[in-house]
Amino acid sequence: MDKNTFYITTPIYYPSDKLHIGHSYTTVACDALARFKRLQGKEVMFLTGTDEHGQKIQDKAAAAGVTPKQYVDNIVEGPGGVKDLWKLLDISYDRFIRTTDDYHMESCQKIFTTLHDKGDIYKSVYKGHYCKPCESFWTDSQLKDGKCPDCGRDVYEAEEEAYFFKTSKYADRLLKWYEENPQFIQPESRKNEMIAFIKQGLQDTCVSRTTVPWGIPVPFDTKHTMYVWVDALSNYITALGYGNEKYSDYDKFWPADIHMVGKEILRFHTILWPAMLMALDLPLPKRVFGHGWLLMNGGKMSKSVGNVVDPVVLCQRYGVDAIRYFLLREIPFGNDGMFTNEALINRINSDLANDLGNLLSRTVAMCEKYFGGTVAPTGAATEFDEDLKAVVSAMPAQVAKDMDELLIPQALQEIFKAIQRANKYIDETAPWALAKDESKKEQLQQVLYNLCESLRMAAILLNAYLPNTAPKMAAQLGLAEGELSFEDLSWGKRASYTVHKGEALFPRIDVNKELAELAAQDAARKAAAEAAKAAEKPAEAPKAEQAEAKEQEHLPEITIDDFAKCEMRVAKVLTCERLKESKKLLKFTLFDGERERTILSGIAKWYAPEDLIGKHLCIVANLAPRPMMKGKYVSEGMIVSAEDDEGNVTVLQLPETVKPGAQLC
Ligand code: MSP
């Protein structure tokens, strides 16, 4: 029989830096699933937490001049830390585990000892490349051009005593498990990667270090600490009380219904973790889902790349539910997705403000205007009622199916399909016209009741995704708290409505104004950062020296990777005009192979607009957008040109055979 419990986990986060919106993505997705399962009446255990040991944290703490524990305490519990972020994003976790919690460390030591006693952990020698200054071992594949990937210095072959886990012993059992449990690894494409990885031949895993003191000590050989992944993966059972007295939920919730993880850590969760569980004779989790990444400027968002987006800033600007909605709706679950301000604003405007917000405000306003706020069914149908009812009634089962298959964007799409159907129903039935005809009063009331029913059903489901908005909808519709369960999802369940007009759910955003403002903020932030950097630089050289140096002025040498950061593309000039506000500037609309963009360029002295219309130019496409003319325009890139000795400017033009979008390299 199906258990009425549901155990869902996020990965536990490295608190080496503040979390960014990419981290929030996994957690918001798990939260939506957890809330949905609760709505369906399941007893849910939603676990999240932090993975606090290892070299990286140790180094960060040393750099900050604090102990590792002080360092992680601040990032996890401190103001603006991990727990604050989850509170802000309305993450309804049931348990938060920190791998520095005593009970977890005690359980991990028991797990390690058990595996050792069973012969699945053995002592041997770890061979690798050692970087002395970093005190780190690296494998062949980790080295960068044969050097230490952290500091770039030479490494030398070295050996270290270490314990190993017999991962290789479990290769066949793992493959058999995948075959017998087709749901275990999802999405399907990722399963094939894991199978191929195992078939290449599994190595045993080095599970202890003698050079990383910030870790859980191996209980029977305390000069060793445990490999962070053994410590981290164990959290999924220690948090339920496995091997400790702190909790006693293991029997109730294990095996987990789903481990949700990013694709880059799927291998740990589908090979090392199940092999450890097999060695411990414990059941395996039912599903491991490897989702894609949230990308920004084409790359995975990451602090080291410097392309992170701060979720706190986004929530303050647009509201928590708008951000949750964007994350859940925009990215096909399982694939990578792009974060852009435009995409976010468009989602807010089209789905939340237009579709959802308008449906509610129009419905409530009409109930008040025509019936003093109270409507009940009259039985006077219009020809459009059956279709609306069919679409809305089909929604709950379809959403539930999508959620079971982890198709979160599709589930939301399903809800919005019903919302759009209801908006269309307003246009079809034209209540304002019915209101003019006294004999159509009953029909009008039925129409408004039908709209309230549609909104009620949508609000119940939306609770899982938009936990701040759905209650606002319920309040405007006059629903009580006890009416928001899955059982209430049947058409006609409510006898009547007394509505109360409230504030607009999502005010519409003026896209151009907003983008200009964001660009201005970005420019100001960058200028402040530059100024701060300049303030750190040594005093400038005396004027005479500067003059001498001018002759050989060159930028510092860059690597091919530095160059690759500059995206130069061919773009076709669609329009070009002079600006009455400026003698210098020409305003271009260009097609860059994907979209149209506006660029302002100071070349009016050398070109008439008609000289350039239709021409294929070269643009720097990934330059941060820049507000110009006091924010009236935003220039989205730069046109590449060259200046001769007289200071005349010529733009770089390419033949028409080089199509828009072609990259210059
Ligand atoms: N500590 C390990 C997990 C141990 S679980 C037993 C870890 N931590 S992490 O902080 O680096 O990443 C946590 C999760 O955030 C991972 O699933 C990772 O994929 C996810 N993300 C980090 N950046 C991300 C994006 N830009 N986009 C989507 N998810 C991202 O790995």
Q: 406 CA distance to ligand 1 centroid (A)?
A: 18
Decide if 245 contacts 204 (C-beta within 8 A).
no
The whole-chain average pLDDT of the chain stands at: 90
Judge contact between 50 and 84, C-beta under 8 A: no
Atom index in ligand 1 nearest the CA of residue 20 equals 23
Phi-psi region of 642 (alpha: psi -120 to 50; beta: other; left: phi over 0): beta
Protein residue whose Cα sits closest to atom 24 of ligand 1: 22
524 pLDDT tier (thresholds 50, 70, 90): confident
Residues with Cβ < 8 Å from 639, sequence gap 6 or more?
588, 599, 601, 603, 617, 618, 619, 651
What average pLDDT does this structure show over 307-327?
A: 89
> Which of the two residues, 39 and 339, has the higher pLDDT score?
39
Distance 195 CA to ligand 1 centre (A): 22
Compute, in angstroms, the gap from residue 13 CA to the centroid of ligand 1.
6
How distant, in Å, are the alpha carbons of 42, 267, 351, 400, 508 from that of 355?
Answer: 31, 41, 5, 22, 11
Burial class (CB in 10 A: 0-12, 13-18, 19+), 563: exposed
**Separation CA 465–CA 414 (nearest Å):** 13
What does the alpha-carbon distance between residue 352 and residue 356 come to, in Å, rounded to a whole number? 5
Q: How far is the CA of 9 from the centre of ligand 1 (A)?
A: 12
Cα separation of 455 and 458, whole Å?
5
pLDDT surpassing 60 at residue 102 = yes
Ligand 1, atom 12, lies closest to the CA of 13
Coil/strand/helix, residue 467: coil
Q: Which two tokens stand for residue 454?
A: 């549609």
CA distance 588 to 603: 11
For residues 107 and 250, is the Cβ–Cβ distance under 8 A? no
Nearest-CA residue for atom 13 of ligand 1 = 13
CA–centroid distance, residue 24 to ligand 1 (Å): 9
For residue 262, the CA-to-ligand 1 centroid distance in Å is: 6
Mutate-to-test residue for ligand 1 from 9, 14, 23, highest number of ligand atoms within 8 A of CB: 23
| pLDDT given for residue 556 in this prediction | 63
Q: How far is CA 207 from CA 57, 103, 149, 273, in A?
A: 18, 20, 21, 12
How many whole angstroms separate alpha carbon 51 and alpha carbon 224? 19
- Which residue, by CA, sits nearest to atom 16 of ligand 1? 262
The closest-lying atom of ligand 1 relative to the alpha carbon of residue 260 is 17
301 and 21 Cβ atoms separated by less than 8 Å = yes
Q: How much distance in Å is there from the Cα of 528 to the middle of ligand 1?
A: 30
The predicted-structure confidence for 542-552, as pLDDT tens digits, reads as follows 343 333 333 33
What is residue 305's predicted lDDT score, i.e. its pLDDT?
A: 59
- Note whether 588 and 599 are within 8 A (CB): yes
| pLDDT reading at 319 higher than 90 | yes
Q: What is the pLDDT of residues 594-612, one digit of tens each?
A: 888 889 999 988 888 888 9
Query: From ligand 1's centre to the CA of 22, what distance in Å?
Result: 8
Average of per-residue pLDDT across 283-309: 80
Residue 73: pLDDT above 70?
A: yes
Query: Residue 542 has what pLDDT?
Result: 38
- For residue 300, give the ligand 1 atom closest to its CA: 26
Ligand 1 pocket: which of 8, 13, 104, 330 to mutate (most atoms within 8 A of CB): 13
Which protein residue's CA is at the shortest distance from atom 19 of ligand 1? 262
Looking at the CA of residue 16, tell me the nearest atom of ligand 1: 10
Tell me, in angstroms, the distance from the centre of ligand 1 to residue 185's CA. 17
Instruction: Kindly write down the DSSP assignment for every residue of 226-275, as one continuous string.
Output: E-HHHHHHTHHHHTTTTTSSS---HHHHPSPSEEEEEGGGHHIIIIIHHH
Instruction: State which of 9, 18, 26, 323 you would mutate to test the pocket of ligand 1, scoring each by most atoms of that ligand within 8 A of its C-beta.
Output: 26
What is the CA(6)–ligand 1 centre distance, in A?
22
Range of weakest confidence among 345-349, 390-394, 626-630, 637-641: 626-630
Q: What is the pLDDT of residue 626?
A: 79
DSSP at 144 = B
Stronger pLDDT, 641 or 466, i.e. the higher one = 466
At residue 393 the predicted structure's pLDDT band, cuts being 50, 70 and 90, is: very high
Instruction: Judge if pTM exceeds 0.75.
Output: yes
Q: Of the candidates 307, 275, 273, which has an alpha carbon nearest to the alpha carbon of residue 293? A: 307
Residues 214, 54: Cα–Cα separation, whole Å: 6
- In angstroms, the first-to-last Cα distance of the chain is 61
pLDDT at 174 over 50: yes
Q: Which residues neighbour 269 within 8 Å (Cβ) at sequence distance 6 or greater?
A: 233, 259, 261, 288, 290
Closest approach atom of ligand 1 to CA 11 = 5
Question: Quick one: 645 exposed, middle or buried, by C-beta within 10 A (0-12, 13-18, 19+)?
Answer: exposed
Residue linked to tokens 């006609």: 492
How far is the centre of ligand 1, averaged over its atoms, from the C-alpha of 11 (Å)?
A: 7
CB 174 within 8 A of CB 271: yes
For residue 345, pLDDT over 90 is answered with yes
Q: Whose CA is nearest to atom 6 of ligand 1?
A: 233
Query: Pairing state of beta strands 596-601 and 205-206?
Result: unpaired
Contact indicator for 571, 616 with CB cutoff of 8 Å: yes
Whole-number Cα distances in Å, 74 to 15, 69, 102: 9, 9, 18
| CA dist., res. 71 & res. 15, Å (int) | 9
Distance in Å, CA 467 to ligand 1 centroid? 24
pLDDT at 631 over 50: yes
Nearest residue to 618 via CA among 634, 631, 599: 599
pLDDT tier, 580 (very low <50, low <70, confident <90, very high otherwise)? confident
pLDDT mean over 367-375? 98
Q: For ligand 1, which residues put their CB under 6 angstroms from it?
A: 11-14, 22-23, 25-26, 51, 232-233, 235, 261-262, 264-265, 293-294, 300-301
Q: Give 645 Cα–ligand 1 centroid separation in angstroms.
A: 52
Average pLDDT over residues 340-345: 90
Q: What is the pLDDT of residue 525?
A: 73
Q: Stretch 182-207: mean pLDDT, rounded? A: 92
Ligand 1, atom 18: closest residue by C-alpha:
262
- Specify the pLDDT at position 78: 93
